[in-house]
Structure 1
Amino acid sequence: MNQLQFGEIEYLAAWLAGSGIDVAGWGKGEAKQLLDLWREYTSGESCLTDNPPARQIDVAQVIIRRGDRVLVELAQEFADDRRRSRLLPPSEKLKGGESPRAAAWRCLGEELGLREEDVALGQSAQVSEEVGDSPSYPGLPTRYVFHVFEATADSLPDDDFYRDNAAPDDPIRRHLWGWRRE
């Protein structure tokens, strides 16, 4: 399994096509665009491998509890007004060289607008792996390594709420959050 290097988005597109990955549906429905994968790749949030072709990412997830409920992202709204359902805890892909804990703090700031004084974040993470088809990039197998932290954050609203995404160049404009039973 070789980690691939691409100097331009056109080479990435050619590799995807040559690997039999159809990107015609990307940028439609719930899928992100080829440009989004390019930005993710060039920022160090993912790497791509061949034999077989795959995307690899490390993800910091933060489980925020309130009684018997957990905070989940109910939906994301793209900048072009498309919307997709999520039902996932706050999560952020690690950038090249970033620690899982630093990515967890970045997630809490960018997606929820929280500051360090607003959150009690656990010191260690549980690590698990999963392989599957990416909903963001259909047809591109993805290996996920999850670094899961426990946290509490009392300043969040009790009802479902929106937060604008503060991450630069992110295709997601805002997130809908809510508390759901585990």
Structure 2
Amino acid sequence: MKNHILPATLLTLCCIVFFCGIYTAVVWGVAQLAPNRGKGETISYGDNRYGFEKIGQSFTNDKYFWSRPSAVNYNAAVSGGSNKGPSNPDYLAQVQARIDTFLVHNPTIKKEQIPAELVTASGSGLDPHLSPQAARIQVARVAHIRNIDEGKLIALIDQYTDKPLFGTETVNILSLNIALDQLKR
């Protein structure tokens, strides 16, 4: 019995020291070398800090491009989806309510034109991106409210579209809306 308990106890103590102390200190030290010391990338314009670039934020005012809905109210501490299936009546009612709201605020758009990402939450509930198509479908509303030429807004969307070598093009809605506020009419 002594041959088993002593090695198991030593292994447990070594693991506690390594994983609770040494490993944690190494990860923390590496994070200090990262931009913003591992606290996330914030977007700044002038003296104003707007938030974290990689975490979705709620934009529902008509003068802005709306962001993707969140199942967790954009709370990074509880990141996750709703876990409701596509046949769940509560989920379907929620999506239908989002569709109805979008159509009220965008009267020139037909229901079948609405990209799914504008009425469904992402798996993490924190997605800060939309497709360029989802941003473009909102141009008429934003242009009307702000009295800006639609061509300027389309050019702005194109400017803020990330075009990776592989994968789909995306637009960071926080960056786009900050640029929209700085746009000269």
TM-score for both structures, normalised by structure 1: 0.25
Would you tell me which structure has more helix in proportion to its own residues? 2
Would you tell me which structure has more strand in proportion to its own residues? 1
The one of the two structures with greater contact order (alpha-carbon pairs below 8 A, sep at least 6) is 1
